[in-house]
Every structure is written in structure tokens, then in C-alpha cells.
Amino acid sequence: MEKSDNRIVITGTGIITSLGIGKAEMLKKLKAGQRVIGPIRHIRTKYSHLPSGEVEYSDEQLKEIIHYSDTGIITRTSLLGRVALREALDEAGLDAARGCRIAFISGNTVGGMEKSEQYYYDFLNNNTRNEYIAMHDCGACTDIIAKEFSGKFDLITTISTACSSAANAIILGANLIREGRVDIAVVGGTECLSKFHINGFNTLMILDKEPCRPFDADRHGLNLGEGAAYLVMETEVHARRRNARAICKLSGYGNACDAFHQTATSPNGEGAYLAMQQALKNSGLQPGDIDYINAHGTGTGNNDECEGIAMMRIFGDQMPPVSSTKSYTGHTTSAAGGVESVISILALTHRFIPANLGYHTPIEGHTFKPVDHVIENVTLKHILTNSFGFGGNDTSCIFSTLDSENAKCAPAAGTHDCYIQSAAHISIQQPLTDEWFSNPILPAQAYNESLEPDYSKYFSPMAARRMGRLLKRSMATAIEALGQQPVPDAVVTGTGLGCIANTEKFLSAMIDNQEDFLQPTYFMQSTHNTIGSQIAQHLKCHGYNCTYSHRGTSFDSSLFDAYLQMQTGAIRSALVGGHDEMTTEYFKMLGKIGYWKKGDINPDMLRNSDTPGSFSGSCSLNMLLTDKSSKSSLCKIAGMDMLYEPSIDDLCSAAKRLLGKAGIAVGDLSGIVLGLSGDCNGDRIYLDFKNALCPDKPAIWYKHLFGESFCASAFGVLVGAKCLYERTIPVHLKYQPEMESAEPKIILVHNHFHNKDHSLVLLSSCSC
């Protein structure tokens, strides 16, 4: 039976949706079967008549509710997140959790778009709204939320897998706890409505003009919603140790990729079926043990039919009660996995099943009918909740009462190895080659385009025409990195901005054309997980699929996720990538807030710089991780850690722990790879850390070759791996060219973003 000491329990939840603020208000309206879907009030859009689950409070009212006193600006996405997070932390009593290592993992897709769409041309043409430029990306929203709770979190990151984002945050949090990396994980998601959002879904022709009717034969689409929800998770023994009350437990979870289409679900719901099957296997439960399914149930023709088929494949004639609570809240997209998990926990602890509002007529071919009225005083022990996103990113979680028993023990921490088997990149160096290692191109200006290969060997002309440049790069590097290897168990992707070129095309067209004549392709390809889902679709990879969009540690987060799962043995191989592009428009915007140097660039100028800013590059790099080494393996990943806002002393202590766990002394290091870029502020942190940890070891740099981008850290890992494989550190990679170095055997890679998010990756030669 399940070991209670190891089981993960929920000790706090917080929520805000169109139903109101907090669990008490949610519970009251859920039990009353109250529908609050209505017209859009807070956004100036020609589609304000479309029903939505908009939070009734304005930004100013939300600030008053949370007693917002910060003089800085804030986005609506972050405001919603702060409201929900505060309730979750208060219930969990985290003020009494001093000495614990706490992770904050938030799902998000629109980021600060609701401000970017208002001020886009101000960003380009004047300096009146520059303060909002840095708030556009998803990771910035997570950081703004975390800022209110300064000093509480030790690791933060952002997941962006569209409508499954918050559910995937739950999976990462559980893995971090089970691997002993954190004591507590605060997980969930937040999303506000935006014109971009509304117009994007409208181009797909899946918005209902009436309140949505999930699983009804006459359904006509979804209603968008907004909101936020977070859960506090920890082991039961840890909760007892700090006298925290456990609410319920997380019994199981699963993620799979449909690998079928960017927005449509496969006819047999393969991804949904695999996610539910994996969640059941992970929990040790049988289909007959599930007492209620909180379905994804968007109200679209494709989703509801295919999700129903997938559930029928799992449950057969044992179908438990099913309902979609999106009929209450609207589809809160990236927040949905958190929102519906909290609703499921409310149902579990208050013994009721929410109604599937608007249902009248069964779907032909479905052997079940959703619950069309609230059922109270019902015995519930296990609830399955589904969250499915664009690109076929499908996630299922199971929440159970504390007194229920599962047949399976929680998995113990693993000791499996992890090797970088191969890597391929397209950048401002020669594409798909390692020529940079012996004969690099030295960029001479601040703005640089990537060098493109001949894509005809990878795609047909018709397929290539439908793909933006970054998608082509990411697909080509995936194919090259994989080579003749079997399809990997997982595709894990990092991207700070996603296909920003397509985002800009959709955004500018939306503004210029007054929300008319928009291209759905640009919207679909603007979602951050388009990259990972397209790779999975090409490879027919149905395994784990996740995308991280956390600014300068986006790649680091994806590598960390894959590494953790390799350690536990959950997967045996993974394709891990970092992908970001730069456009002339976004380059101009970032230049206004100090990202770039002015004038010509050369290594000596960057090395001796006493001014802020660097120069831009583009990043598309995929590497294949395996649990077995071969003659062609580049190196072994001997350890990894991520930290939020550490001091230099904290960073040194973390590095020593990492080395010690691998049985390596600081003196055994052959060198340290640093993200030195000519930015005096960022470089000072790197050099202070190196001088405190290992002043006599050579510093290895790489951004003078590849430039700066949100995923540039991928090249840091590549450089370290290549030095180990080639058994040398070329002089052009030495920050101090005169420093001598022996044959490298152990290399530490350090990356940070604005001295907030830090990562450490320990690499060792395969011969060590």
C-alpha cells in the first residue's frame, strides 16, 4: 500500500475566477449551479458581445483588494496571480515554513500581452511606455507575482503549454518534491483576457456566441475566461513536521502528446487516453476507482467528441460521473489546470459533483451523459481532472481523500545516469556544424541574423511555406540531433518568446485592421509550445511534452525537467531544446531598455566592457539525452540545480553541494563556463561567483560567438560538452586567453538572468 510518509498532500489552495475571489465564493456558486458567463467589460474589443468568464474586478479594484502598495507597474495576469497565491499561501501557513526550500511554478501563455497590445506602437515609436516592454514575456509575470512574496521562494519557473500549463506545473512540482529537490512546491497558473487572445480564438472559429454547452450535441464552441489558481504541495511527513493541515493528496498524474495537429485532437483521442492511462498507472488505481471526472470539456466540436471517446476507451461501461466546469468559469486557458484542480478539490472535500451547465442532448456515439445537475452528499474518494492544450499537450491529475489507499508506493528518488548523446544548432555561427569550435565567426554588430541551412532536405516546399523561420530551425535541429536514434521518450523545450515573428504579425494586423482579416496560422504559431508540439508531431512522439518560457533560464528549466525525470527513471531519453529568435522590431524595443550595445562589437571590447548591454543572437539548439553512454556521447550530466535570488555565498554553497554529491572537489574542476556577454552588470555576478568559488580555474565564455538571447544558455552547455568531448579548451573560448589549462574532465556551467534566476550544470567527461 501507499506509504503515507512519501505521499504528496495539498496543504493550501487559492483561486480567483469569474465566479468570484476565494474558495468560499467559488463553492457557493458551484453548488448553486450559478452561471456567470456574460459580455466582456474591461477590454475594448469589437467582440465584447461574446460571452466570457471575465473577472468582474478592474485592475484598480484588484490592487485595492490585495492592498497593492508597490510603486512599480503590474500586469493584469500578475494581479490575478497574486490574489490566488496569497490565499493559497495563507491557508498553507507558509509564514511558518522558514528553513524550507520552496519552488514556485506558474503556468502562463499571454504574459503581459494585454499591455503590449495597448502600447505596441508606443514601444516602437516613442518612449512613453517603455516600462511595459520588459513585462511582455511569460516569465516576467511569474517574477512579478513572486516579488510580493520576496524571500519565500528558492526556485521559480514558468511553464507555457497553452491550456495544460498549470496542470504541467503540478507534475513538475511533484517531481521536484519526490526527488528531494524542494520541500514544498507552489504550483498552478494565471491568465487574463486580452484582445490578442480573443481574436486568436475567434480566427479558429471556435468561440460560441452563447454560453457554452460542453458535451452537448448542439455545442458551438467555447467561452474564454480568465483567472488564477495555485496549490501548495508537500509530503505528508513534511506537512506534519510544520503542523500544516493536509486537505487531500495528489495520487497520480500523467502527460502525453497527441502528436496529431496543432489545434485539433486525433479522432480516437490518443493523447488524452495516454495521459489518463498514465495518471492511473502512476497512482496505482484502477478505472473503477475513479468517482468523478472533471473533464477538459471546452464545448468545441472536436475536443468534446474526442475526449469522450478517450474516456470511453479508459472506462468502458464503468464510466464515472462526468462534467465540465468550464460552463461555470469559461476556459481560463493556461490557468485552467489550476482552476479545475481547485474545483476538483472543493468537490472532493465538500462531497458534491458540479453540474455540466447547458447540457441537453447527448453526442452521437457517446455511451455516457454528463451530469446535468449538481449532486450533493455523494461519496468521493478519487477525482480525475483533465487539461488538454494546443499541440495535443494532454495532462491528467488525480486527487484523492486522505483516508483513501492506493495500491502503489510513491517512487523513490532514482540514481539513473544522464548523458548528452548529440546536439545540433542553428545560430549566428555556421549552421548544423561544429565549425565554431575551431574556426568561429566573430560578430561585429549588435543585431545579428541566424545563418540558415538548406531546409529542402528536411521539409517539402509546401510544408516549409507554412512554417515560420524559428519552427524550421527547431525542426531541422531536432532531426539532426536525433539522427538514427529511436523516437525519444520526451520532448522538452525552452523558449523565452516563442515564435515572436508570428506574434508580431498577428498583433500588428489586429491593430491595423481593427480586428478584421486575421490569419489563424500566425495565432497558432504564436503559442509558445508550438515548437515542442511540432517536433513531437513530426517524430510521432506521444511521450512527455513540456515547454518552459522563463526568460533567460527557459532552456535551463527544460534541461532540469528532463534531467530530473532521467534521474528517477521515468524516461530513458529526451530531446531537449532552446529556441528563440530576434526580430528587428523586438530588437528595437529591447534596445530602449538597455539590452544592447551601441556601435561595433568585438571580443576585446566585450571582455573589458564597463557598460551595460550586449549584442543579439538567435538560438535554436536541440540535444539528445540518454541514460546510456556510447562512443559518440559528448559528456555526462553529473548534476544540476536551479536557484532564485541567491547571494554569492548561497551560490557557492549550492555549487559545493552539487560537486560533493557527485564526489567531486572544487579543485577537480577543469574550468567554469560563464554567460559573460559584455554586460557589466551581469558579468560582475559571473566573475564574483567564479572568484569566490574557484579563482584559479579558467573561465570559459561563449556569448561573444553566439550572442545574447533568452535561450543562449543552451550554448553554454554545448560549449562545456564539446570541450569535454574534444579534450581541450580552445583559446578563443578562454575569457583570459593567457591562462593555461589541462585536458578538461570536469566543467561547471553557470547561467543567470538579471541575478534573479540562476542555474548550475555539472558536466563530466564520459571517461571519468
The answer, yes or no, to whether residue 1 has pLDDT greater than 70, is no
Answer whether 566's CB lies under 8 Å from 546's CB.
no
pTM of the predicted model as reported, rounded to 2 decimal places: 0.97
* pLDDT of 704: 97
Distance between CA atoms of residues 448 and 440, nearest Å: 15
| Residue 99: burial class (beta carbons within 10 Å; 0-12, 13-18, 19+) | exposed
Top-tier CATH class for 419-764: alpha beta
Task: Give the residue among 505, 500, 580, 490 at the shortest CA–CA distance from 535.
Answer: 490
| Residue 484: burial class (beta carbons within 10 Å; 0-12, 13-18, 19+) | exposed
Helix axes 584-592, 113-125, angle to 10 degrees: 90
Write out the three cell numbers for 402: 486522505
* pLDDT of 4: 53
The answer, yes or no, to whether residue 442 has pLDDT greater than 60, is yes
Phi, psi (degrees; rounded to nearest 5) at 748:
-105, 135
pLDDT tier at 684, thresholds 50, 70, 90: very high
Write out the three cell numbers for 750: 553557470
Task: Provide the residue ranges of all domains of the chain, joining segments of one domain with +.
Answer: 8-400, 419-764
Distance between CA atoms of residues 164 and 253, nearest Å: 12
The answer, yes or no, to whether residue 415 has pLDDT greater than 80, is no
* pLDDT of 264: 79
Q: Which has the higher per-residue pLDDT, 2 or 532? A: 532
Q: What's 415's DSSP letter?
A: -
The answer, yes or no, to whether residue 170 has pLDDT greater than 90, is yes
pLDDT tens figures, 507-517: 999 999 999 99
| Residues paired with 10 in a beta bridge | 233, 248
Mean pLDDT of the 429-448 span: 96
Mean pLDDT of the 417-432 span: 97
* pLDDT of 290: 98
* pLDDT of 96: 61
Distance between CA atoms of residues 768 and 755, nearest Å: 32
* pLDDT of 390: 85
Sign of the Cα pseudo-torsion (561, 562, 566, 570, in order): positive
* pLDDT of 150: 81
Write out the three cell numbers for 475: 525542426
The topology under which CATH files domain 8-400 is Peroxisomal Thiolase; Chain A, domain 1 (3.40.47)
pLDDT tens figures, 569-584: 999 999 999 999 999 9
The answer, yes or no, to whether residue 2 has pLDDT greater than 60, is no
Answer whether 29's CB lies under 8 Å from 36's CB.
yes
Q: Is 163 a catalytic residue?
A: yes
* pLDDT of 344: 98
* pLDDT of 99: 83
Task: Give the residue among 595, 457, 582, 579 at the shortest CA–CA distance from 529.
Answer: 579
Answer whether 102's CB lies under 8 Å from 182's CB.
yes
Write out the three cell numbers for 525: 504559431
Amino acid at 230: Y
Element (H, E) at 144: helix 138-147
Q: Is 296 a catalytic residue?
A: yes
Mean pLDDT of the 357-371 span: 96
pLDDT tier at 465, thresholds 50, 70, 90: confident
Distance between CA atoms of residues 381 and 146, nearest Å: 33
Catalytic residue among 136, 138, 141, 163: 163
The answer, yes or no, to whether residue 412 has pLDDT greater than 60, is no
Task: Give the residue among 542, 531, 618, 636 at the shortest CA–CA distance from 576.
Answer: 531
| Residues paired with 52 in a beta bridge | 38, 224
* pLDDT of 242: 93
Mean pLDDT rounded to a whole number for the chain: 95
Q: What's 450's DSSP letter?
A: P
Answer whether 119's CB lies under 8 Å from 129's CB.
yes
Catalytic residue among 197, 331, 579, 704: 331
Dihedral-angle region of residue 24 (phi above 0 means left; psi in -120 to 50 means alpha; beta otherwise): alpha
Q: Which has the higher per-residue pLDDT, 720 or 742? A: 720
pLDDT tens figures, 197-256: 999 999 999 999 999 999 999 999 999 999 999 999 999 999 999 999 999 999 999 999
* pLDDT of 768: 67
* pLDDT of 407: 64
Distance between CA atoms of residues 15 and 37, nearest Å: 17
Write out the three cell numbers for 551: 526568460
Write out the three cell numbers for 209: 456566441
* pLDDT of 414: 54
Q: What percent of the chain has pLDDT over 90?
A: 91
Write out the three cell numbers for 429: 555561427
Catalytic residue among 136, 296, 366, 579: 296
Write out the three cell numbers for 547: 515547454
Q: Is 331 a catalytic residue?
A: yes
Task: Give the residue among 616, 637, 640 at the shortest CA–CA distance from 627.
Answer: 637
* pLDDT of 5: 62
